[in-house]
Structure 1
Amino acid sequence: MPEECKGHLVRKFIKECWRKCGCDMQCGNRVVQRGLRCKLQVFLTQEGKGWGIRTLEDLPKGCFVCEYVGEILTNAELYERVLHKSSKDRHTYPVTLDADWGSERVLKDDEALCLDATYNGNIARFINHRYILFIF
């Protein structure tokens, strides 16, 4: 069972400790570093919506499920990538990283970054953002 971090304030978001902060691997702030801890299954949905993920066990409240892995691209690079795909293979798995929310500044497409799991990703690419349930 992870223990409370001895060196940092408890926060409402994941802040990973590392070797130089003095905490060991049981620190509660080493969530992502400990990797996948729950049993997940990729399955073909009945509604014909494609592939999805489900858990094979009940998850405790606040449980870390998995990290989203992919290539970091600019929005312009992602747009070019999609343009050069065939019409039947245009599906991508991007997540916006640089929305610059809370700012008056508008990022240009060659500045704004996204994380694309189309070619290099993990199981998280099958999580549909419309059906994610966060339990806090």
Structure 2
Amino acid sequence: METQNRFKPAVVNITSIENEPCRRLQMEIPPLIDTYDIAVNDPKVMYTTENIPTKETYDNFYDLASGCKCTDLCTKESGCSCIELNANYEFQRDKTSNTIDSIQNNYELIKKYSPVYECNKNCLCSAFCGNKLVQFGPRKGLRILTESELSKLNKQRIKDLKGSKGAGLMTMEAIKEGNFVCEYAGEVISKNEADLRFKRQEEHCLPNYIFCLMEQFGENKIQTFIDPSIFGNIGRYINHSCQPNCLVIPIRCQCVIPKLCVFALHDIPENTEITFDYGDGRLGFVPSNDNEIVKKKCYCHSSLCRKFLPFQKYLY
């Protein structure tokens, strides 16, 4: 993993959910399946399959209060209240997918730059209703690459390979455009804690994994900070690219805190590194004294490489 700054704003507009009395779960939803913890041979990392709160953010982890009243599949035609918030997924081939593998391979994200609400435990719909995807866990066929393995993989396509990105994440199976890859999970921390951790990481020359999501609720702007430095999943090993093959979408399932979900931007061949763009092109790292900008080199080696890793100065 590159030693980059990942305070990345992703500004999206979200429609509020109306508050309704919570209903009990009518059909049991299969549990999230993530077996990649056995593949993470990193003593510095405590594996977590989902976002976890800190003491400062614990009170923000409350459930979504509403759910749809569909009795089987959730569609616009069925009047699904979750889909009415924003049409989420499109079925491909098999519209009655009833296994997690078939869902991950047959569901495609429709709107690539919009927030998503999946059906939740308050809904009356079936477990495989057509509007549940990321809550089942990451797709199979992903593999964490060591620094040497990733360099060897990149040398196959780049003759004059310079620099190292550290570890990375690869898919051993082909992924179709719009398919879900994995979540970028970690500790959900406060803005103050994010500032403290960032300064500490810079002082000790440690890599920064903190992701800042910016969302627009009408006139209100909300920031969510997720840090997988110590508690994280396989998503923490995804590197930056100025010409990425994936993007990150905020998705709400059971909780108002969004999941940061990685989706394929286009068809991805097997044995390919998974990447997304950490920022919008503003470059460099600004020290606490703000007198100079220290740019960090980018080693994505894409034809559109901006030469330096993104940084969002205005977040500090």
Which TM bucket (shorter chain)?
0.7 to 0.9
Q: Shift in Å at residue 94 of structure 1?
A: 1.2
* SS in structure 2 at match of 1:77: helix
Measured in 1, the distance between the counterparts of 2:191 and 2:240 equals 19
Q: Which has the larger radius of gyration?
A: 2
Q: Deviations over 1:5-46 (max 9, x none)?
A: 242343325321123222222122111111122310111221
* SS in structure 1 at match of 2:225: strand
Measured in 1, the distance between the counterparts of 2:137 and 2:223 equals 28
Q: Deviations over 1:42-68 (max 9, x none)?
A: 112215210111101001221111111
Report what 2:74 is aligned to: 5
Measured in 2, the distance between the counterparts of 1:28 and 1:56 equals 26
Report what 2:230 is aligned to: 119
Report what 1:63 is aligned to: 179
| Pair 54,4 (structure 1): closer, same or farther in 2 beyond 3 Å | farther
Amino acid at match of 1:42: I
Report what 1:40 is aligned to: 142
| Pair 21,117 (structure 1): closer, same or farther in 2 beyond 3 Å | same
In terms of mean alpha carbon deviation, does 90-99 or 34-43 score higher?
A: 90-99
| Residue of structure 2 aligned with 1:135, choices 261, 266, 269 | 266
Measured in 2, the distance between the counterparts of 1:100 and 1:17 equals 21
Stretches (4+) displaced over 4 A? 99-103
Amino acid at match of 2:231: N
Gaps (5+ residues) in structure 1? none
Measured in 2, the distance between the counterparts of 1:48 and 1:124 equals 19
In terms of mean alpha carbon deviation, does 6-15 or 37-46 score higher?
A: 6-15
In terms of mean alpha carbon deviation, does 14-23 or 118-127 score higher?
A: 14-23
Q: Shift in Å at residue 4 of structure 1?
A: 5.9
Amino acid at match of 1:40: L
What does 1:9-28 align with in structure 2 at a 5 Å threshold? 9=84, 10-11=87-88, 12=111, 13-28=115-130
Measured in 2, the distance between the counterparts of 1:102 and 1:19 equals 26
Report what 1:29 is aligned to: 131
Gaps (5+ residues) in structure 2? 1-71, 89-110, 152-162, 246-264, 268-316
In terms of mean alpha carbon deviation, does 77-86 or 27-36 score higher?
A: 77-86
Provide the aligned length of Structure 1 versus Structure 2. Answer: 128
| Pair 23,101 (structure 1): closer, same or farther in 2 beyond 3 Å | closer
Measured in 1, the distance between the counterparts of 2:235 and 2:74 equals 27
Measured in 2, the distance between the counterparts of 1:101 and 1:122 equals 28
TM-score between both structures, scaled by the size of structure 1: 0.75
| Pair 23,123 (structure 1): closer, same or farther in 2 beyond 3 Å | same
What does 1:92-111 align with in structure 2 at a 5 Å threshold? 92-98=208-214
TM-score between both structures, scaled by the size of structure 2: 0.35
In terms of mean alpha carbon deviation, does 42-51 or 10-19 score higher?
A: 10-19
Measured in 1, the distance between the counterparts of 2:191 and 2:224 equals 6
Measured in 2, the distance between the counterparts of 1:113 and 1:20 equals 24
